Amino acid sequence: MEFQFLFYESNSEGVRVILLYLHFLRTWFWYMMIALLKSNVVNMEMFGLDIMDKTVLQKIVLVLVCTFLFWKIIRYMSDLLKVEKEPVTVLVTGAAGQIGYALVPMIARGMMLGPNQPVILHMLDIEPALEALKGVKMELIDAAFPLLRGVVATTDVVEACKDVNIAVMVGGFPRKEGMERKDVMSKNVSIYKTQASALEEHAAAYCKVLVIANPANTNALILKEFAPSIPEKNITCLTRLDHNRALGQISEKLNVDVSDVKNVIIWGNHSSTQYPDVNHATVATSNGKKHVRELVADDNWLNSEFITTVQQRGGAIIKARKLSSALSAASAACDHIHDWVLGTPKGTWVSMGVYSDGSYGIQPGLIYSFPVTCDKGEWNIVQGLKIDEFSREKMDKTAQELIEEKALANSCL
């Protein structure tokens, strides 16, 4: 079974169809019972029988037979709803780190793939982190998550990538004080070349990949280079964290529930050049849907402070807690995969770093953050949005940074 179809069947669509069918059967059953009791003659040609019933006893027997058949159908349909899905194998690299430690229990609890989808977790980290990784495995076992069907904790990239359906690439080489950008890129090229080759050889067909480790967009591009059998549409990077940050800032500014804010956009790179765009964003109010710009009524804030706050939020969190974002990054990773696999709500888009096809004038061949909708395990870039001059400049600036990063990565190959 193809992986995307497995997930399509795992959402609530099948349940709704079965429930509608049961409702139809119930209505038909009572209609037939009333017709039987009112009539003097019962013609059952629809069942291949021809019964001429003129007595109450015969009617009672017939009602009992129909009731029994109806009950058997109900039991059969109910059993269909109870059939457990096959477990999905999820790889998390860098699993002993902060983001990994926050992410794996979310996956095991069903936040990523839904409350009825069993999972098997494969956790990968480097040799010095092996003891910590074993500790994470012990905690997962101790938590007794009902959906968790197995845990593998390893430093062997081949073992980690074996038969994985989803790969969440958290591990990478962070930039340290005194390091040049090329040094960091060279380290990450080496890491992602090795992991991409293992996924290429050992992952399940139709494996979906989410890259989180920075530089996320370019790391995803490196992975694509060395895992050519994985479709380009199955390799993405995380900009949902930036998307969620933008939603949060608008929610705070307007004092509304964050769930009422929709359709912000993160364009470009997961870096300080990203462009958080609210030109198409809306807020659900008691008077209907309103545009964010109309409600905020402060273009100066939206075009300056709002943008820089979202761009620099990661740094602000490091300054405040002396550690990088972990909980929010893990939550965003779950949101990204959840919507990709199970679909975005109608009328809503999200931001994902995906392979550019030239949409909105962005150079093809980059992993660039676009607004996307998802359905049946596939993402599609939202088309036809109007781009003003201010936005065009911001979108091109972040695209240029990605072009430079790509050239730097190629020089390290």
Query: How many residues would you count in the chain?
Result: 413
The stretch 349-356 carries a mean pLDDT of 99
Predicted pLDDT of residue 55: 58
Exposed, middle or buried by CB within 10 Å (0-12, 13-18, 19+), for 357? middle
**Two tokens at 186?**
């060279």
Predicted pLDDT of residue 118: 98
- In terms of pLDDT, which residue wins out, 155 or 46? 155
Looking at the predicted structure, is the pLDDT value of residue 91 above 60? yes
- Does one domain contain both 390 and 250? yes
Task: Report whether 241 contacts 214 (CB < 8 A).
Answer: no
Alpha-carbon distance of 38 to 326, in angstroms, equals 68
Terminal-to-terminal C-alpha distance of the chain: 36
- In terms of pLDDT, which residue wins out, 23 or 264? 264
Q: Which of 50, 82, 114 is the last residue of a domain?
A: 82
- Does one domain contain both 214 and 256? no
Q: 76-80, 234-238, 243-247: which has the minimum mean pLDDT?
A: 76-80
Q: Is 270 a catalytic residue?
A: yes
- Does one domain contain both 176 and 76? no
Predicted pLDDT of residue 36: 58
Q: Which of 59, 82, 105 is the last residue of a domain?
A: 82
Predicted pLDDT of residue 17: 60
Q: 38-42, 326-330, 385-389: which has the minimum mean pLDDT?
A: 38-42
How crowded is residue 189: how many other Cβ atoms within 10 Å of its Cβ?
22
- Does one domain contain both 271 and 408? yes
- Domain with 26 in it: 3-82
Q: Which of 199, 221, 237 is the last residue of a domain?
A: 237
Q: Read off φ and ψ for residue 224, nearest 5 degrees.
A: -60, -40
Q: Read off φ and ψ for residue 142, nearest 5 degrees.
A: -65, -30
Looking at the predicted structure, is the pLDDT value of residue 37 above 70? no
**Two tokens at 169?**
């690439």
Predicted pLDDT of residue 5: 37
The stretch 386-401 carries a mean pLDDT of 98
Band (pLDDT 50/70/90 cuts) for residue 104 is very high
Band (pLDDT 50/70/90 cuts) for residue 357 is very high
- Does one domain contain both 232 and 308? no
Predicted pLDDT of residue 14: 57
Looking at the predicted structure, is the pLDDT value of residue 49 above 60? no
Predicted pLDDT of residue 77: 63
- Does one domain contain both 263 and 318? yes
The stretch 236-243 carries a mean pLDDT of 99
- Does one domain contain both 315 and 179? no
Band (pLDDT 50/70/90 cuts) for residue 145 is very high
The stretch 35-43 carries a mean pLDDT of 54
What integer best gives the mean pLDDT of the chain?
89
- Does one domain contain both 215 and 248? no
Q: 53-57, 183-187, 293-297, 399-403: which has the minimum mean pLDDT?
A: 53-57
Predicted pLDDT of residue 179: 76
The stretch 197-202 carries a mean pLDDT of 98
- Does one domain contain both 265 and 395? yes
Predicted pLDDT of residue 72: 73
Residues with Cβ within 8 Å of 140's Cβ and at least 6 positions away in sequence, in order, are 104, 105, 108, 121, 148, 151
We report the CATH number of the domain holding residue 123 as 3.40.50.720
Exposed, middle or buried by CB within 10 Å (0-12, 13-18, 19+), for 260? middle
What Rg do the C-alpha atoms of the chain give, in angstroms? 27
Looking at the predicted structure, is the pLDDT value of residue 74 above 80? no
- Does one domain contain both 256 and 405? yes
Looking at the predicted structure, is the pLDDT value of residue 251 above 50? yes
Bridge partner list, 210: 168, 236
Predicted pLDDT of residue 56: 56
The stretch 372-377 carries a mean pLDDT of 98
Catalytic residue among 23, 202, 243, 270: 270
What is the torsion angle, in degrees rounded to the nearest 10, for the CA atoms of residue 225, residue 123, residue 85 and residue 165? 10
Looking at the predicted structure, is the pLDDT value of residue 321 above 90? yes
Per-residue three-class SS string for the chain = CCHHHHHHHHCCHHHHHHHHHHHHHHHHHHHHHHHHHHCCCCCCHHHCCCCCCCCHHHHHHHHHHHHHHHHHHHHHHHHHHHCCCCCEEEEEECCCCHHHHHHHHHHHHCCCCCCCCCEEEEEECCHHHHHHHHHHHHHHHHHCCCCEEEEEEECCHHHHHCCCCEEEECCCCCCCCCCCHHHHHHHHHHHHHHHHHHHHHHCCCCCEEEECCCCHHHHHHHHHHHCCCCCHHHEEECCHHHHHHHHHHHHHHHCCCHHHEECCEEEECCCCCCEEECCCCEEEECCEEEEHHHHHCCHHHHHCHHHHHHHCHHHHHHHHHCCCCCHHHHHHHHHHHHHHHHCCCCCCCEEEEEECCCHHHCCCCCEEEEEEEEECCEEEECCCCCCCHHHHHHHHHHHHHHHHHHHHHHHHC
Task: Report whether 270 contacts 237 (CB < 8 A).
Answer: yes
Residues with Cβ within 8 Å of 246's Cβ and at least 6 positions away in sequence, in order, are 264, 266, 276, 278, 306, 310
Band (pLDDT 50/70/90 cuts) for residue 46 is very low
Alpha-carbon distance of 58 to 193, in angstroms, equals 77
- Does one domain contain both 189 and 331? no
Band (pLDDT 50/70/90 cuts) for residue 65 is confident
- Does one domain contain both 219 and 340? no
Band (pLDDT 50/70/90 cuts) for residue 136 is very high
Looking at the predicted structure, is the pLDDT value of residue 52 above 50? no
- % of the chain with per-residue pLDDT over 70: 82
Give the total number of structural domains in the chain. 3
We report the CATH number of the domain holding residue 268 as 3.90.110.10
